[in-house]
Chains A and B, each alone.
Chain A
């Protein structure tokens, strides 16, 4: 599973796309395949603050409830409300099913995240493959 090269990643398996000051955040394809069938996505409200490396929501699969960690600090400007009724979209295409959009407080945090190659190497190490 190739990780899109234009995204940045976290070790907690989130991806972020940056356009201007707005970052779009979701979970990786590896995360969705490990979680299995996703049945509920719990997201913050527009206007809520998020902090880098802190939880901003959770995702529930038939296996477990897992926290979502924000790659960056900032303020939520938009959430993907569609996931409330169709959480399976995350399983279908994890890179299309974004979760929140964040106005970044500090661009440097984005620059410090993993590249696609870094993240793929991290997954390889984690799974021992």
Chain B
């Protein structure tokens, strides 16, 4: 049994074979739905028309379309089979560990889904009058208050639809704040370990991005920060714990350096899973931050989304929050307040991704304060267990204590010509989703592993065993790693050609 786990795959299969490992359906080659189309097929039959017929052409005028759109025509079972087959190609947290660092791919508890499907919640509509949606509004209110308490901030908007959207909203608040004081300021400082979205956010909000190099511990160099912060600095965008999974222990000093010059501290909350119930950004000097409900608060992440990126802030930024904000009126009922003269405006249709608010609140209430604290402790424990179990085989570029994720480098493996991306492809053959590769940029050949609190010791041990087996393969049969994966439908794709000559849409075959 042990040897079988160590060598799940025998001889490598030739590259570019379209028929790979046979799984639930013997035909793994699923065509496009357009290719299944044949004229006249229908999935539904409409009831006879019971209203007076109108002439579309007369009503639509120039907008009337003469040629029919070439949409696929298929029957219901063909649609079901098509998408069900495609779904079997997916890897999901429900199939196994998904240790994608920085992404916090944690389990989405079924209780979240149960609550989100309750009729009164699932059937609510944003156009219902407020008097009929008090329950839905209470859900929003309750979540706002929970998140304010968890972050230690004063106010919040739930509108942004994802993390980068939250960053954008947060920096708009920063800009509006500085403008209200007569000077929008010119630059935003971003450490070199940051998520790529941070500099992109600053730039799209009209700021010049100033790069801040990390020190030898992978943390912010406070002396260097002190040197570059001036009256032109609008904010520092900081991820804490940083992208190498290290807590910025001098965060309060960093905040003081910024505040002394009138600049603000933005915190990217991507790594909040290491802090919930333990430390509050509002207490260590953060002025504005976003949360990722689809990371920290267990709502679906990626294809299962949509995401949700609430922005919490201190009272000084509250006047600028997007409209509308939820407020309790004189009669005790909740309602949306649009009368906000200093607002940055609306950033999202309606009130954000409400279905995610329900799930996140279910998660928070199901765990309670002690449960959330335990979650944080387990996430940190799991990452450190992996670190301790692999650091004899994989190089650890920063020895500072890890929080919820651990970053190795491929230095030892690269000496044999095997890179982080090769190891990531090989871990697929062992049944795991790859970890994050080549990020953060301050680590050459990074392997960024975040197990989250969801995984049991048994699952972590399987992953560790797989990683140790791969390290052995790198020494003994490096080609097996360099040509991986061997067990998937297709092996390595030609990424360079795909990027240089992308085929972006299906076109009908012309005779």
A88 and B500 contact, CB distance less than 8 A: yes
Closest A residue to B439 by beta carbon equals A64
Interface residues of B in 405-444 (CB under 8 A from A): 411, 421, 438, 441, 444
Q: Please, how many angstroms separate the alpha-carbon atoms of A106 and B496 in the complex?
A: 39
Closest B residue to A85 by beta carbon equals B500
A1 within 8 A of B: no
Instruction: Point out which of B441, B444, B496 has the most chain A C-beta atoms below 10 A from its C-beta.
Output: B496
Q: Which residues of chain A have C-beta atoms less than 8 A from B499's C-beta?
A: 37, 39-40, 60, 62
A63 and B438 contact, CB distance less than 8 A: yes
B62 within 8 A of A: no
Q: Please, how many angstroms separate the alpha-carbon atoms of A40 and B500 in the complex?
A: 7
B500 and A39 contact, CB distance less than 8 A: yes
B500 and A64 contact, CB distance less than 8 A: no
Q: 14 interchain pairs (CB within 8 A)? A: A34-B444, A37-B495, A37-B496, A37-B499, A39-B499, A40-B499, A62-B495, A62-B496, A63-B438, A64-B438, A65-B196, A88-B496, A127-B444, A128-B411
A39 and B441 contact, CB distance less than 8 A: no
A39 and B438 contact, CB distance less than 8 A: no
B438 and A87 contact, CB distance less than 8 A: no
Number of interface residues of A (CB under 8 A): 13
Annotate A61-89 by CB proximity to B: 1 below 8 A, 0 otherwise.
01111000000000000000000000110
Annotate B383-411 by CB proximity to A: 1 below 8 A, 0 otherwise.
00000000000000000000000000001
Q: Which residues of chain B have C-beta atoms less than 8 A from A40's C-beta?
A: 499
Shortest distance from the beta carbon of B192 to any chain A beta carbon, whole Å? 11
Closest B residue to A66 by beta carbon equals B441
Instruction: Point out which of B438, B444, B499 has the most chain A C-beta atoms below 10 A from its C-beta.
Output: B499
Q: Please, how many angstroms separate the alpha-carbon atoms of A87 and B421 in the complex?
A: 22
Q: Please, how many angstroms separate the alpha-carbon atoms of A102 and B237 in the complex?
A: 33
Closest A residue to B441 by beta carbon equals A64
**Chain A residues packing against B (C-beta within 8 Å):** 34, 37, 39-40, 60, 62-65, 87-88, 127-128
A87 and B441 contact, CB distance less than 8 A: no
Shortest distance from the beta carbon of B122 to any chain A beta carbon, whole Å? 40
Q: Please, how many angstroms separate the alpha-carbon atoms of A34 and B499 in the complex?
A: 18
Closest B residue to A54 by beta carbon equals B208
Q: Please, how many angstroms separate the alpha-carbon atoms of A127 and B496 in the complex?
A: 25
Closest A residue to B209 by beta carbon equals A55
Shortest distance from the beta carbon of A87 to any chain B beta carbon, whole Å? 7
Interface residues of B in 472-506 (CB under 8 A from A): 495-496, 499-500
Q: Please, how many angstroms separate the alpha-carbon atoms of A63 and B495 in the complex?
A: 10
Shortest distance from the beta carbon of A33 to any chain B beta carbon, whole Å? 12
Shortest distance from the beta carbon of A46 to any chain B beta carbon, whole Å? 23
Closest B residue to A127 by beta carbon equals B444
Q: Please, how many angstroms separate the alpha-carbon atoms of A39 and B441 in the complex?
A: 19
Annotate B250-276 by CB proximity to A: 1 below 8 A, 0 otherwise.
000000000000000000000000000
Shortest distance from the beta carbon of A50 to any chain B beta carbon, whole Å? 15
User: Which 3 pairs between the two chains have the least Cβ-Cβ distance?
Assistant: A37-B496, A39-B499, A62-B495
Partner of B500, one of A87, A127, A128: A87
Q: Please, how many angstroms separate the alpha-carbon atoms of A34 and B444 in the complex?
A: 9
Instruction: Point out which of A34, A40, A62, A88 has the most chain B C-beta atoms below 10 A from its C-beta.
Output: A62
Q: Which residues of chain A have C-beta atoms less than 8 A from B495's C-beta?
A: 37, 62
Annotate B328-345 by CB proximity to A: 1 below 8 A, 0 otherwise.
000000000000000000
Q: Which residues of chain A have C-beta atoms less than 8 A from B411's C-beta?
A: 128
Q: Could you list 17 further interchain pairs (A-B, Cβ under 8 angstroms) beyond the known A37-B496, A39-B500?
A: A34-B444, A37-B495, A39-B499, A40-B499, A60-B499, A62-B495, A62-B499, A63-B421, A63-B438, A64-B438, A64-B441, A65-B196, A87-B500, A88-B496, A88-B500, A127-B444, A128-B411
Q: Which residues of chain A have C-beta atoms less than 8 A from B500's C-beta?
A: 39, 87-88
Closest A residue to B414 by beta carbon equals A127
Shortest distance from the beta carbon of B215 to any chain A beta carbon, whole Å? 16
Closest B residue to A62 by beta carbon equals B495
Q: Please, how many angstroms separate the alpha-carbon atoms of A98 and B134 in the complex?
A: 64
Q: Which residues of chain A have C-beta atoms less than 8 A from B441's C-beta?
A: 64
Q: Please, how many angstroms separate the alpha-carbon atoms of A88 and B501 in the complex?
A: 12
Q: Please, how many angstroms separate the alpha-carbon atoms of A37 and B495 in the complex?
A: 8
Q: Please, how many angstroms separate the alpha-carbon atoms of A39 and B499 in the complex?
A: 6
Shortest distance from the beta carbon of B441 to any chain A beta carbon, whole Å? 7
Shortest distance from the beta carbon of B42 to any chain A beta carbon, whole Å? 42
Q: Please, how many angstroms separate the alpha-carbon atoms of A74 and B411 in the complex?
A: 39
Closest A residue to B200 by beta carbon equals A65
Closest A residue to B495 by beta carbon equals A62
Closest A residue to B211 by beta carbon equals A67
Q: Which residues of chain A have C-beta atoms less than 8 A from B438's C-beta?
A: 63-64
Instruction: Point out which of A39, A40, A127 has the most chain B C-beta atoms below 10 A from its C-beta.
Output: A39
Q: Which residues of chain B have C-beta atoms less than 8 A from A65's C-beta?
A: 196
Shortest distance from the beta carbon of B448 to any chain A beta carbon, whole Å? 14
Q: Please, how many angstroms separate the alpha-carbon atoms of A63 and B196 in the complex?
A: 13
Q: Please, how many angstroms separate the alpha-carbon atoms of A65 and B421 in the complex?
A: 17
Closest A residue to B196 by beta carbon equals A65
Instruction: Point out which of B196, B438, B495 has the most chain A C-beta atoms below 10 A from its C-beta.
Output: B495
Q: Please, how many angstroms separate the alpha-carbon atoms of A40 and B411 in the complex?
A: 28
Q: Please, how many angstroms separate the alpha-carbon atoms of A128 and B397 in the complex?
A: 12
Shortest distance from the beta carbon of A90 to any chain B beta carbon, whole Å? 12
Q: Which residues of chain B have C-beta atoms less than 8 A from A39's C-beta?
A: 496, 499-500
Shortest distance from the beta carbon of B417 to any chain A beta carbon, whole Å? 13
Q: Which residues of chain B have C-beta atoms less than 8 A from A87's C-beta?
A: 500
Shortest distance from the beta carbon of A127 to any chain B beta carbon, whole Å? 8
Closest B residue to A60 by beta carbon equals B499
Q: Which residues of chain B have C-beta atoms less than 8 A from A37's C-beta?
A: 495-496, 499
Q: Which residues of chain A have C-beta atoms less than 8 A from B196's C-beta?
A: 65
